Structure 1
Amino acid sequence: MGMVNMLEAKTSLSKLVEAVESGAEKEIIIARNGKPAARLVPLGQPKKRQLGLAEGKYPPLDYEAFQALDEEVAAMFLGKEK
């Protein structure tokens, strides 16, 4: 397929995208008036996020200890000494 003109790209966009997604075509150049104007390429695989990167780096905090920090946090926001 290689290069297609703008009209063909408009009428068969879903087929072009499918060809690129499936790997049948590495890339498709879309031309305007016979001159290359755009390149249709597949997106790379999305990066996988690794969960739990901070696990074990901070001491455990139970609900009561977390709630006890409310006054301290409020004082920081209000600029008051505790």
Structure 2
Amino acid sequence: MRTVNMHEAKTHLSQLVEKAAGGEPFVIAKAGRPMVKVIPLQEVTTPQRLGFMAGQIRVPDDFDRMGEDTILAMFGEQA
């Protein structure tokens, strides 16, 4: 695995990241001491489950006015 110093990493970050994303991970070192390893992220293979509770939750018709009296009492009526 390739090791690059901090200066080289800053100078060539775009190219290094492209290579890492393509499967060539690398290590960034500071003063010769390895600090971080840059590896590609794995793609999410599980689809998001949007709407999995459809029909199981009911939003009240007055949802946008719930607690209105309490809020007005706490903050007074603003015009």
The TM-score with structure 2 as length reference comes to: 0.61
Where does residue 53 of structure 2 map in the other structure?
54
How does 1:22-41 map onto structure 2 within 5 Å? 22-23=22-23, 25=24, 27-41=25-39
- TM-score (norm. length: structure 1): 0.60
Q: Which residue of 2 aligns with 1:45?
A: 43
Q: Which has the higher helix share?
A: 1
Structure 1: 5+ residue runs without aligned partners?
Answer: none
The count of corresponding residues between Structure 1 and Structure 2 is 68
**Counterpart-to-counterpart distance in 2, 1:41 and 1:9:** 14
Among all aligned residue pairs of Structure 1 and Structure 2, give the percentage whose two residues are the same amino acid. 38
| Residues 70-81 of structure 1 mapped to structure 2, 5 A cutoff | 70=62, 74=65, 77=67, 78=69
Secondary structure at the counterpart of residue 16 of structure 1: helix
CA spacing shift, 1:11–1:58, aligned 2, 3 Å: closer
Partner residue of 2:20?
Answer: 20
| Mapped partners of 1:16, 1:29: distance in 2 | 10
Measured on the aligned residues, the alpha-carbon RMSD in Å equals: 2.9
Further displaced range: 1-10 or 41-50: 41-50
